């Protein structure tokens, strides 16, 4: 799929997913949404778009989508429940895999 078309389709599905799951806090509800499933079906080509969204907008906790597409999970168990740390783990992973450039330190440890 052409890059611009891929981006448009990604944005359309991400917007729909956001509208349809805006009040959902249960990841199962979000993950079972048809738009989430369509995003996953788009596969590896959307990883840079997901990471870009995660980095710039923080629209969702994209970890489920990224795990399903990549087959990886760079989040250590002790980061579970900490959105800021999970996001940072995935962005660092994306940088390491050359999907995005992520040079900032965004972790602010809470006491």
List CB contacts of 30: < 8 A, sequence separation 6 or more: 17, 21, 24, 36, 60, 64
For residue 32, the 8-state DSSP code is T
Whether 88 and 107 have beta carbons less than 8 Å apart is answered as yes
pLDDT digits (tens, 9 = 90+) for 49-83: 999 999 887 777 788 899 999 999 999 999 988 98
Whether 75 and 63 have beta carbons less than 8 Å apart is answered as yes
pTM over 0.75: yes
C-alpha closest to that of 39 among 29, 50, 28, 48: 50
C-alpha closest to that of 100 among 111, 91, 110, 89: 91
The Cα–Cα gap between 30 and 36 comes to 7
Say if residue 38's pLDDT is above 90. yes
């Amino acid at each position: 799929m052409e890059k611009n078309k891929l981006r448009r389709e990604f944005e359309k599905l991400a917007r729909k997913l956001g509208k349809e799951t805006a009040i959902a806090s249960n990841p199962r509800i979000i993950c079972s949404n048809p738009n989430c499933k369509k995003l996953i079906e788009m596969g590896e080509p959307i990883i840079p778009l997901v990471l870009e969204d995660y980095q710039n907008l923080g629209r969702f906790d994209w970890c489920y989508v990224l795990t399903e597409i990549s087959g990886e999970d760079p989040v250590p168990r002790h980061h579970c429940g900490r959105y800021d740390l999970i996001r940072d783990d995935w962005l660092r992973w994306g940088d390491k895999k050359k999907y995005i450039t992520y040079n900032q330190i965004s972790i602010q440890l809470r006491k």
